[in-house]
Amino acid sequence: MRPHLPMRPLWLCRICAAPWPCQPARLLLLMEYRRDRVALSVYLAGQLFDATADLMKLNPDAAPSPAELFDRFLAWAAPRTG
């Protein structure tokens, strides 16, 4: 079981209450998916989809922008090149 799971529908970490995926969750996910970064991206895209729906239902006027959600859920997981 992943200890740093999101508390839904708020999408905050159950342990540290930071926006999920928090830094510890990111590190754990990178370790878990270290051999399959494509699977990590697919998993995170699914989480992004669910989080968008949850956050829009909770507060449609103050929901994070699509760019903020992309950065939060997917951008950090892209492999570094160069």
Q: Mean pLDDT over residues 57-65, rounded?
A: 90
Is residue 2 a part of any domain in this protein?
no
Would the pLDDT of 1 be above 90?
Answer: no
Is residue 59 a part of any domain in this protein?
yes
**Euclidean distance between CA atoms 48 and 54, whole angstroms:** 10
Is residue 66 a part of any domain in this protein?
yes
Residue 38 lies in domain: 12-77
Is residue 7 a part of any domain in this protein?
no
Backbone torsions φ then ψ of 59, nearest 5 degrees = -155, 85
Is residue 3 a part of any domain in this protein?
no
Confidence of residue 2 (pLDDT cuts 50, 70, 90): low
Is residue 26 a part of any domain in this protein?
yes
- Number of folded domains in the chain? 1
Q: Is the pTM of this model over 0.85?
A: yes
5-57 tens-digit pLDDT: 999 999 999 999 999 999 999 999 999 999 999 999 999 999 999 999 999 99
Residue in 44, 36, 48 with CA at minimum distance from that of residue 79: 36
Classify the phi-psi angles of 11: left when phi > 0, otherwise alpha if psi is within -120 to 50, otherwise beta. left
